[in-house]
Amino acid sequence: MAQSVAQNMAANAKGISMWFDRINWADIGTALGQTLTMVGISLSLTILIGLPLGILLFVTGKGQPFARPIGYGALSFVLNIIRSVPFIILLIVLMPVTVLITGTSLGIRGVIFPLVVGTSPFFARLVETALREVDRGVIEASLAMGASPAQTIFRAVLPEALPGLIAAVTVTAIVLVDYTAMSGAIGGGGLGDLAIRYGYHRFQTEIMLICVVVLILLVQLIQASGNSLVTRFTRR
Amino acid sequence: MIRLEAVTKSFASKRGAAPALHGIDLSVGRGEIYGIIGASGAGKSTLVRLINLLERPSSGEVVIDGARVTDAKGTALSDLRRSIGMVFQHFNLLSGRTVAKNVAYPLELAGRLSRAEITAKVAALLERVGLADHAQKYPRELSGGQKQRVGIARALANDPKVLLCDEATSALDPQTTGQVLDLLQEINRELGVTIVMITHEMEVIRRACDRVAVLEKGRVVEEGPVTTVFLHPAHPVTRALVREAEGDNAVPATQATGQLLRLTLTGATAHQPILGRIARDFGSDFAILGGRVGHIRTTPYAQFAVALSGGNGGAAVAALRASGVTVELIGGGPTVAEHGAERGAEHGGERERHLHVV
Ligand SMILES: Nc1ncnc2c1ncn2[C@@H]1O[C@H](COP(=O)(O)OP(=O)(O)O)[C@@H](O)[C@H]1O
Ligand SMILES: [Mg+2]
């Protein structure tokens, strides 16, 4: 530790150019890979779970042809509870369940489950909102053409909501980048983990800085791609 | 073809049930263009949505083609709705689908045709509504009139027997309205599709409909052939709607002398030189105080408020009637009073102050 502090001070004294000499770019590459893996897997699972939940919220919601106030209220209540627990606490509370499911609460495998639990209710809400944006007239027209409620949802409402759904996935992906960084604190791996291990515990500020810059670039990239897809699929 | 029997409809609201329709009895004949007119909130949309059961009646029966369908569910409901096309005020097209894909949508739902058959049918439908060149465009690239043509093509895709139009022209400019009404009449004529047309504009009824029901606050207050309802509106609401379409034709009664008559000529009569001949024959003369001339669908009509004076007025009126002219006394001398006004007599008092042609 003392050595680390000394090194750090020396590095600062010798200027920025010296900083980069000590950075292990391979480590950063590995961490980025881990972050992308965690975000990718948990995003896929979040969509897989959150999309049906969002559709369920939408169809049972008030003012819809298939409104089920009690079912909607119950589902809404559960999702709100999960959403109101701070992610870092969810991470700790879920540990026993995580171990039960994946055998470990550490590393990429250990972190996917809490990530999915943490973001699915959020994504489900975004899906519900996106589906509500669809013109009621379109739903009515579909039903008037003899479509069943299921046909109307899958062939008219979901395709019409596509831009909104892409935006929802974009926002969720960014939240996941944030959450993976947080899960680094309890040994999840990835850029957040690296930043905390080197930057916080070993006082290698430069590594933390680089990790943050990479995270910023990643978020910008996700947002930009999301925006361009939304534009591409907006036909209104 | 379509019968509504003692249909009522209430919506649940915070302050209990809010009635939207009270005891509606309505019968639409096969091949007819039936208009339903009324102010905003009168219950027109609710009424038309009962026909394809987008709305279920609170009581009463919906009978289509002799079959009671009030409680239809599942595939019976889907089949019923496929046999009834619907056209909307705001088009309600799928914005993510091209024109061709929009028209294909109901065919895909029905799942009875192959992909190739659907393509061929869509092409024929777009040809019929004059949009063959726009098949690959998205709705947002179209004008309002073109969007409504897509809506009509889509509504016709499953060869329906009935077309429901809920304010189909209300979002369009007058010229486009005319074109869309012409298209709907062509469809009615060539395909024999029965059309139920909702509107708040008497002009639409006059141009396109055979019969009309006037709806006010959830009740039918007047019903009949458009020639009768438009030329001899009996209910104040109907009169207001006609006046709105025709402009206010009020004539100050003080300027008129003699018997004040309303003459209505329809069909071939409207094109014959009857008035001048009869005036000459009976030594009478008349001043024209107001009038309107035009067509109800394809039937020509002419309606005048005249002040008849001099000569043998009673004989002139009899001759007018004999020639097929409808004569109503709307004020003035006693000569024709015994003939009485055919309709609107009960509202005669109002007319002594202001002579409305309607
Ligand atoms: N789904 C609904 N829920 C509650 N009230 C409704 C609903 N649909 C229509 N109404 C009410 O029924 C009445 C008639 O509406 P509507 O049929 O849309 O009239 P119109 O088409 O003639 O303007 C209005 O007072 C309206 O507020
Ligand atoms: Mg309406």
Task: Give a yes or no: residue A187 inside a domain.
Answer: yes
Residues 6+ apart with CB under 8 A from B93: A138, A141, B102, B139, B147, B150, B151, B154
Q: What residues are in contact with ligand 1 under a 6 Å CB criterion?
A: B 11, 18, 20, 38, 40-46
| DSSP codes of every residue in B45-63 | HHHHHHHTTSS--SEEEEE
Query: Which CATH superfamily includes the segment(s) B259-346?
Result: ACT domain (3.30.70.260)
The pLDDT-based confidence of B248 (bands split at 50, 70, 90) is low
End-to-end C-alpha distance for chain B, whole angstroms = 32
d(C-alpha A149, C-alpha A132), whole Å: 15
Are B95 and B138 in contact by the 8 Å Cβ rule? The answer is yes
Is residue B21 over pLDDT 90?
A: yes
| A146 to B106: CB separation less than 8 angstroms, yes or no | yes
How many H-runs (helices) and E-runs (strands) does chain A carry?
13, 0
pLDDT digits (tens, 9 = 90+) for B55-109: 999 999 999 999 999 999 999 999 999 999 999 999 999 999 999 999 999 999 9
Which residues are paired to B303 by β-bridges? B264, B292
The range of the structural domain enclosing residue A52 comes to: 47-233
Q: Which residue among A146, A151, A235 places its CB closest to the CB of B82?
A: A146
Task: Give a yes or no: residue A120 inside a domain.
Answer: yes
Task: Give a yes or no: residue A91 inside a domain.
Answer: yes
**Which of A139, A145, A160, A232 to mutate to test binding with chain B, by most B CBs within 10 Å of its CB?**
A145
Residues of chain B with Cβ-Cβ distance to A160 below 8 Å are 94-96
Task: Give a yes or no: residue A3 inside a domain.
Answer: no
Residues 6+ apart with CB under 8 A from A125: A54, A57, A79, A83
From the CA of B21, the nearest ligand is 1
At B244, phi and psi to the nearest 5? -60, -40
| A143 to B81: CB separation less than 8 angstroms, yes or no | yes
Q: What architecture does CATH give domain B2-236?
A: 3-Layer(aba) Sandwich (3.40)
DSSP letter, residue B257 = -
What is the pLDDT, as a whole number, of residue A28? 87
The pLDDT-based confidence of A217 (bands split at 50, 70, 90) is very high
pLDDT digits (tens, 9 = 90+) for A148-191: 999 999 999 999 999 999 999 999 999 999 998 888 767 778 88
pLDDT digits (tens, 9 = 90+) for A92-147: 888 888 888 888 877 788 889 999 999 999 999 999 999 999 999 999 999 999 99
Pocket test for ligand 1, best of B8, B9, B46 (most atoms within 8 A of CB): B46
Distance from residue A200's CA to the centre of ligand 2 (Å): 65
Residues of chain B with Cβ-Cβ distance to A63 below 8 Å are none
The pLDDT-based confidence of B339 (bands split at 50, 70, 90) is very low
Are A54 and A120 in contact by the 8 Å Cβ rule? The answer is no
pLDDT digits (tens, 9 = 90+) for B267-276: 988 888 888 8
Say what the pTM is.
0.86
d(C-alpha B305, C-alpha B281), whole Å: 20
**Which of B49, B64, B95, B112 to mutate to test binding with chain A, by most A CBs within 10 Å of its CB?**
B95
Say what percent of chain A tops pLDDT 70: 90
Pocket test for ligand 1, best of B11, B58, B164, B196 (most atoms within 8 A of CB): B11
Domain range summary for chain B, segments of one domain joined by +: 2-236, 259-346
Are A173 and A41 in contact by the 8 Å Cβ rule? The answer is no
For B38, the token pair is: 């009324």
Q: Which residue among A141, A143, A162 places its CB closest to the CB of B96?
A: A162
d(C-alpha B196, C-alpha B163), whole Å: 6
Smallest CA separation from ligand 1 atom 1, residue: B11
- Give the minimum alpha-carbon distance from A171 to chain B in angstroms, rounded to a whole number: 22
Task: Give a yes or no: residue A51 inside a domain.
Answer: yes
Task: Give a yes or no: residue A23 inside a domain.
Answer: no
Q: How many domains does chain A have?
A: 1
What burial letters (b/e) apply to B194-230, b meaning 16+ CB within 10 Å?
bbbbbbbbbbbbbbbbbbbbbbbebebbbbbebbbbb
What is the pLDDT, as a whole number, of residue B325? 93
| DSSP codes of every residue in A114-158 | HHHHHHHHHHHHHHHHHHHTS-HHHHHHHHHTT--HHHIIIIIIH
At A79, phi and psi to the nearest 5? -65, -40
Three-state DSSP class for B356? coil
Interface confidence, given as ipTM, is 0.86
β B251-252/B354-355 pair status: antiparallel
CATH, residue A53: 1.10.3720.10
d(C-alpha B219, C-alpha B19), whole Å: 11
Smallest CA separation from ligand 1 atom 12, residue: B20
Residues of chain A with Cβ-Cβ distance to B52 below 8 Å are 144
**Which of B51, B88, B92, B150 to mutate to test binding with chain A, by most A CBs within 10 Å of its CB?**
B92
Nearest atom in ligand 1 to the alpha carbon of residue B18 is 5
Q: Which range among A50-59, A118-127, B180-189, B273-282 shows the weakest confidence by mean pLDDT?
A: B273-282
Tell which residue, A166, A179, A158, has the closest CA to residue A225.
A166
Task: Give a yes or no: residue A75 inside a domain.
Answer: yes
Task: Give a yes or no: residue A151 inside a domain.
Answer: yes
Q: Which range among A72-86, A108-122, B325-339 shows the weakest confidence by mean pLDDT?
A: B325-339
